[in-house]
């Protein structure tokens, strides 16, 4: 099969593209190598891949001969208030609308990356009587808008699409702005880790290989929206203690203020994807964190 992967130079997209190539597929990647974090890291991620430099918000998107599109390009990050909002509009909403248009023209199905951020805090997940999820930040609002676009394109043009709400993905190559990336880098270098808030915030952390597996399997899922998240919920304090055990020494923590827009708690209910595909996350946090730390340690030469 021939697949397009957008965001192929990014954290999750590069793992996905490599997994597809390893399974014998042709993969054409698209990425604009944004400077949200050091583009040199993206060059490194894309080294073994065929990634075309395309801005999905502006350039032609050529999907000729493509059997399906994995659309992972986007502007991530919960800290999305203020002057950065145009990046979220361009890289999430506009880019996704243009990918949907191109996919309709090419007759190709789309599996794309939404986010647990559409939900806001677990305590405020929509009850049956609530109308809409309530994101805590503009990032989540753009992802939720993309989900509405999916629904509109499906009804009006017959687009076949699956949205995956990823829950806090971690592992080698994780974006350097994310907590685990900063945490394993601090341990690998022997530095302090700055924890935002008191560490009681919790997440359904999800190992990147599990996310890649769910994303590939989602090609077979009935169109719709699915949660993709780790089975267990951990607080940041639990995760830090576990990392200390793995490293053989406690993580040195400096406490910083909580960040505006961060959720207190996320919790993945994966019943829907389990029923549709039999998928559930299989990597325990201990195993995933050990792999993440060993990757980070190798990079700073302390493995
Ligand atoms: N990492 C997570 O925990 C997580 C959780 C929920 C959802 N997501 C979503 O999954 C996707 C991948 O996330 P990631 O963590 O790998 O992020 P990432 O930033 O590493 O990857 C995204 C890639 O998209 C590219 N991109 C951005 N705008 C583009 C445009 N206009 N045209 C072409 N390329 C563009 C960037 O250059 C980057 O390489 C994103 O859509 C993100 O919002 C990630």
Question: What is the per-residue pLDDT across 85-133, written as a single tens digit (0 to 9) for each?
Answer: 999 999 999 999 999 999 999 999 999 999 999 998 887 776 655 567 8
Q: Are 38 and 47 in contact (CB under 8 A)?
A: no
User: Ligand 1: which residues within 6 Å by Cβ?
Assistant: 6-7, 9-13, 30-34, 36, 42, 54-57, 72-76, 91, 95, 113, 115, 166, 168-169, 175
Q: How many Cβ atoms are within 10 Å of 245's Cβ, its own excluded?
A: 14
Question: How far does the centroid of ligand 1 lie from the alpha carbon of residue 245, in Å?
Answer: 31
Tell me the pLDDT tens digit for each residue of 4-26: 999 999 999 999 999 999 999 99
Question: How far does the centroid of ligand 1 lie from the alpha carbon of residue 193, in Å?
Answer: 24
Residues of the chain with CATH 3.40.50.720: 2-167+208-229+272-277
pLDDT on residue 129: 58
Assign a CATH topology to domain 179-202+233-267+283-300. UDP-galactose 4-epimerase; domain 1 (3.90.25)
d(CA 163, CA 70): 10
Question: How far does the centroid of ligand 1 lie from the alpha carbon of residue 57, in Å?
Answer: 14
Whether 139 is catalytic: yes
pLDDT on residue 122: 80
pLDDT on residue 131: 63
Question: How far does the centroid of ligand 1 lie from the alpha carbon of residue 1, in Å?
Answer: 23
Looking from the CA of residue 116, the nearest atom of ligand 1 is: 6
- Note the CATH architecture for domain 2-167+208-229+272-277: 3-Layer(aba) Sandwich (3.40)
User: Which of 51, 72, 93, 181 for mutating ligand 1's site (highest number of atoms within 8 Å of CB)?
Assistant: 72
Residue with CA closest to ligand 1 atom 2? 169
Residue with CA closest to ligand 1 atom 42? 76
Enter the pTM of the model: 0.96
88, 119, 139, 207: the catalytic one is: 139
User: Which of 4, 8, 11, 17 for mutating ligand 1's site (highest number of atoms within 8 Å of CB)?
Assistant: 11
Looking from the CA of residue 37, the nearest atom of ligand 1 is: 19
Question: How far does the centroid of ligand 1 lie from the alpha carbon of residue 76, in Å?
Answer: 6
Residue with CA closest to ligand 1 atom 21? 10
Token representation of residue 251: 């993580």
- Mean pLDDT for the chain? 95
pLDDT on residue 231: 87
What 3 state SS string does the chain have? CEEEEECCCCHHHHHHHHHHHHCCCEEEEEECCCCCCCHHHHHHHCCCCCEEECCCCCCCCCCCCCCEEEECCCCCCCCCCHHHHHHHHHHHHHHHHHHHHHHHHHCCCEEEEEEHHHCCCHHHCCCCCCCCCCCCCHHHHHHHHHHHHHHHHHHHHCCCEEEEEECCEECCCCCCCCHHHHHHHHHHHCCCEEEECCCCCEECCEEHHHHHHHHHHHHHCCCEEEEECCCCCEEHHHHHHHHHHHHCCCCCEEEECCCCCCCCECCCCCHHHHHHHCCCCCCCHHHHHHHHHHHHHHHHCCC
**Which stretches in the chain have pLDDT values below 50?**
none
pLDDT on residue 127: 63
pLDDT on residue 262: 87
Residues of the chain with CATH 3.90.25.10: 179-202+233-267+283-300
């Amino acid at each position: 099969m021939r697949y397009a992967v957008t965001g192929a130079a990014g954290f999750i997209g590069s793992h996905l593209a490599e997994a597809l190539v390893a399974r014998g597929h042709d993969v054409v990647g698209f990425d604009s190598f944004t400077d949200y974090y050091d583009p040199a890291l993206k060059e490194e991620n894309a080294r073994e891949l065929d990634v075309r430099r395309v801005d999905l918000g502006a350039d032609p998107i050529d999907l000729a001969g493509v059997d399906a599109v994995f659309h992972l390009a986007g502007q991530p990050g919960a800290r999305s208030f203020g002057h950065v909002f145009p990046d979220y509009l361009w890289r999430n909403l506009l880019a996704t609308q243009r990918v949907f248009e191109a996919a309709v023209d090419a007759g190709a199905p789309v599996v794309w990356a939404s986010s647990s951020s559409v939900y806001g805090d677990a305590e405020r997940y929509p009850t049956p009587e609530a109308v809409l999820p309530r994101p805590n930040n503009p990032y989540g609002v753009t992802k939720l808008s993309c989900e509405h676009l999916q629904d509109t394109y499906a009804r009006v043009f017959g687009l076949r699409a699956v949205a995956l709400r990823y829950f806090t993905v971690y592992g080698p190559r994780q974006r350097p702005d994310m907590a685990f990336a900063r945490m394993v880098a601090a341990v690998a270098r022997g530095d302090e880790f700055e924890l935002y808030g008191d560490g009681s915030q919790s997440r359904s952390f999800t190992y990147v290989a599990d996310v890649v597996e769910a994303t590939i399997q989602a090609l077979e899922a009935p169109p719709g929206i699915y949660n993709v998240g780790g089975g267990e919920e951990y607080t940041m304090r639990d995760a830090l203690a576990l990392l200390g055990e793995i490293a053989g020494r406690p993580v040195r923590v400096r406490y910083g203020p909580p960040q505006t827009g961060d959720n207190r708690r996320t919790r993945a209910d994966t019943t829907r994807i389990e029923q549709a595909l039999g998928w559930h996350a299989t990597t325990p946090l201990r195993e995933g964190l050990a792999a993440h730390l060993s990757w980070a340690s190798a990079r700073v030469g302390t493995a």
